[in-house]
Structure 1
Amino acid sequence: MRESDSLKKAAQILRSYRIEPYFVEVLGNVQKVYSKNGVYALKKINPQHGMDFIRHVQTLYQKGYNRIVPIYPTLDGRYAVLYENTLYYLMPWLSKEEKRDPFESQQQLFRELARLHSISAREIKVNQEERTIHYEKTKAELEQEEEFLDEYLEACERKIYMSPFELMFCMYYHTVKQALFFSKQKLTEWYEGTKEKEKARIVIVHGKMARDHFLFDEKGYGYFINFEEANIGSPTHDLLPFLARSLKGYLKQPDELVDSLYMYFKYFPLKEDEMQLFFSYLAHPGNLIKTAQRFFQEGKNRNERKAVQKLQREYWYLKNTEYIVFRIDEIEKQKKQEEAAQQNQ
């Protein structure tokens, strides 16, 4: 779209706010709007998600949560404008501050996420039959993965000469099997501890939590942006995708992530059943198993070099998640021992 067309289109939308733009910079789904009133961000979203997005934002505003980048209402009180079958909303333009300490920024991000979850938390009734069906289905999937691991290991070991991928798979097998066992164990603990419970806790989840989606104003206050995929769910629906993105790459000991998680737990502790499910999903070596299954199924059409690289990356991710899981598990066990010791005094 030409620059003049973008300006005309933005001007049509911004009439609802009585703002006259004199320049518009198009940055993907966001338009940086320059006007005599100031600099704004005009963002478009899918109308299918728009009503849920607006409802969740209004709910948080009503509950006193104001750490979402303010969404300006139109002159007639709407939070979005429908134009050419697309919804647009307006907010102030916040610049990313590169000088901030990354760890401190992440700590503030997790603290605000905990506040968001705490303010919006409520309990809902859970259908016990649906919970059992979910458990049985997930358990069956884990058992199928376990069966594949064992059978593929045997097939590799029967060969006189293994391919590089098969040799690497055999080297990783024990670690993958342990992770799968731990994941299944925590899933079972979750089910056994909740099958008699009639309620579960839900929150408003951001839906797209990332470091780039938490910006700071000139006073140092942090605000969430990209709230369009907000929905209702377990608090772990924000934590797990963030960890999945953060733990990719070379082997590391992500102690800063553990510290940030405990910043979150300080303000919004996970319940025991939530922690069990969190462990089960985080420890699950699903991507590595899928990589092995894909290699096995592709046969002669496979690219071994790329498959080996992919397997190695998934192993690094598995070792990083393993560190997080066992570090948290260790801390939680220590806390329980200290609580028991205090009770016995």
Structure 2
Amino acid sequence: MAKENRLKKYGPILKHYALEPNFIESFGSVQKVYSSKGVFSLKKIKANHGADFIRYIQQLYQMGYNRIVPIYPTVDGRYAVLHNQKLYYLMPWLANEIKEDQFERHQQMFRELARLHVLSTKEVEVSKEEREEHYENTLLEWEKQSEFLDGFIETCESREYLSPYELMFTQYYNDIAQALTFSTKKLKDWYEKTKEEEKVRTAVIHGKISTEHFLYDERGYGYFLNFEEAKRSSPMHDLLPFLSRSLKTFPKRADDAVDWIYTYFKHYPFREDEMLLFQSYFAHPGPVIRAAEKYHNGKSKKNERKHVEHIQRQFWLLKNTEYVAMRIDEIERQKKQAQEAAEKANAEQEGAQNG
């Protein structure tokens, strides 16, 4: 869009902020607005997202969390402008100069995410019936996935000549089945530990954390933006999607991901039951199972080579996730053993003193 067209299109919106734009630069759904009052960011979102995300931002400010890119009110006090069925809101344009390496950028983001969750944490009531229904529905779905895996491997092994995809699946089957068994065990352990409880810990979650949604000001302080998917939910729903995206790479030992997770846990420790459920969801091999189901059902228009490439990428994700999941399991087991040893030593010491 030409410069004049952008000024014409966004000028009426910016009048609500008493801004006269000199120049507007487009970055997709974000417009960089240059004016005599400074440089601003004008963001466009769907109208039905507006009320909720502004409400959550206001709640977080009231709770004392201020590492959010501020949203400027209009002259008449509104936090968004409805224009042509879209909502627009205005923020400062952050320089976002990266002064540290990518690893430290992630570390700071996870520290801030934990602080966001700490300040907004709240226990909410969940009935035993709701908990049981969630458990049984999840378990039933995973049992069906296990039956599919067993059926598909039998089909493959019964053939005299396997397709390239089927041959690859037979090589992947044991790893997929083991991951599903691990997830299911953690789910069962979680339910056994919590089936009598009627509360669950929640927080205001960002909804789509990413280093692209964590920007730095000129002083080097990090701020979250893009709270359009914010809601009250389990904090793990901020962690899981980010980790999944980060681990979609070639096979690697993702020790950096383990460090990010424990940076977060240092500031927002999960309870034992939360850790069990987190481990269950994190290790679950859903993407690779869905890839195999799609191939088996013949609903995809991909050719054989594309199918092979797709399941290979999903298997790499599975193996990267497996490494992180096993490291978490090992760390948690060591922590539990250390705690039990300390409790035993304290008990023996008390016994000796009483004796």
TM-score, scaled relative to structure 1: 0.97
Q: CA deviation at 1:301?
A: 6.3
Partner of 1:115: 115
Q: More displaced, 6-15 or 140-149?
A: 6-15
Alignment of 1:141-152 (within 5 A): 141-152=141-152
2: CA distance, partners of 1:11 / 1:295: 51
The aligned residue for residue 60 of structure 2 is 60
Alignment of 1:177 with 2:165, yes or no, is: no
Paired residue for 1:69? Answer: 69
Could you say what secondary structure the match of 1:154 adopts?
helix
- Give the corresponding residue for 2:348: none
Is 1:159 paired with 2:163? Answer: no
Q: Give 2:61's aligned amino acid.
A: Y
Deviation at 1:45, TM superposition (A): 1.3
Name the SS for the 1:138 alignment partner: helix
Letter aligned with residue 91 of structure 1: M
d(CA) in 2 for partners of 1:315, 1:85: 42
Partner of 2:245: 245
What is the alpha-carbon distance in structure 1 between the residues aligned to residue 299 and residue 164 of structure 2?
Answer: 14
Match in the other structure for 1:289: 289
- The alpha-carbon deviation at position 303 of structure 1 amounts to 1.4
Corresponding pairs, count: 345
2:38 is matched with which residue? 38
Moved more, 31-40 or 1-10: 1-10
AA matched with 1:137: N
Q: Give the aligned partner of residue 321 of structure 2.
A: 321
Q: 1:91-130 alignment to 2 at 5 Å?
A: 91-130=91-130
> 1:189 corresponds to which residue?
189
SS in 2 for 1:306: helix
Q: Give distance in 1, aligned partners of 2:136 and 2:232.
A: 24
- 1:73-105 CA distances to partner (integer Å, 9 max, x unpaired)? 122222112222221111110133245311111
Match of 2:20 in 1: 20
Shift of 1:299: 8.2
Q: Secondary structure at the match of 1:90?
A: strand
In structure 2, the CA distance between the partners of 1:161 and 1:196, relative to structure 1 (3 Å rule), is: same
- Report what 1:333 is aligned to: 333
What corresponds to 1:254 in structure 2? 254
Q: Given the alignment of the two structures, is residue 269 of structure 1 paired with residue 272 of structure 2, yes or no?
A: no
CA shift for structure 1 position 226: 1.2
Corresponding letter in the other structure for 1:31: Q
The AA in structure 1 aligned to 2:246 is: S
Q: 1:98 to 1:307 in 2, by over 3 A?
A: same
1:227 Cα offset (Å): 1.1
Structure 2, unaligned runs of 5 or more: 346-355
- In 2, Cα distance between the equivalents of 1:52 and 1:299? 37
CA distance in 1, matches of 2:129, 2:231: 24
* Distance of 1:149 and 1:98 partners within structure 2: 45
Deviations 1:123-161 (A, max 9, x none): 111022122111111111111111111111111111112
Report runs of 4+ in structure 1 exceeding 4 Å deviation: 299-302
Mean alpha-carbon deviation: is it higher for 146-155 or for 7-16? 7-16
Sequence identity percentage:
57
Specify the code of the residue in structure 1 equivalent to 2:258.
V
Q: What one-letter code is carried by the residue in structure 1 that aligns with 2:289?
A: I
Distance 2:213 2:336 in 1: 35
Structure 2 counterpart of 1:133: 133
Structure 1 residue identity aligned to 2:66: N
The 1:258–1:39 alpha-carbon spacing in structure 2 relative to 1, beyond 3 Å, is: same
Q: Residue 161 of structure 2 aligns to which amino acid in structure 1?
A: Y
C-alpha offsets along residues 153-190 of structure 1, whole Å, 9 cap, x if unaligned? 11111111211111111111111110000111111111
Does the C-alpha gap of structure 1 residues 32 and 333 become closer, same or farther in structure 2, counting only changes over 3 Å? same
2:210 paired with 1:210: yes
In the alignment, the residues of structure 1 paired with residue 61 and residue 208 of structure 2 have an alpha-carbon distance, to the nearest angstrom, of 19
In the alignment, is the contact (CA less than 8 A) between 2:117 and 2:268 conserved in 1?
A: yes
Q: Which runs of 5 or more residues in structure 1 are unaligned?
A: none
Q: Closer, same or farther in 2 for the Cα pair 1:333/1:74, shift >3 Å?
A: same
| TM-score normalized with structure 2 length | 0.94
CA distance in 1, matches of 2:140, 2:343: 40
Paired with 1:181 and 1:343, the residues of 2 have a C-alpha distance of 31
State whether structure 2 residue 83 is matched by structure 1 residue 83. Answer: yes
Is residue 51 of structure 1 aligned with residue 45 of structure 2?
A: no
Distance of aligned partners of 1:8 and 1:270 in 2 relative to their CA distance in 1, 3 Å threshold = same
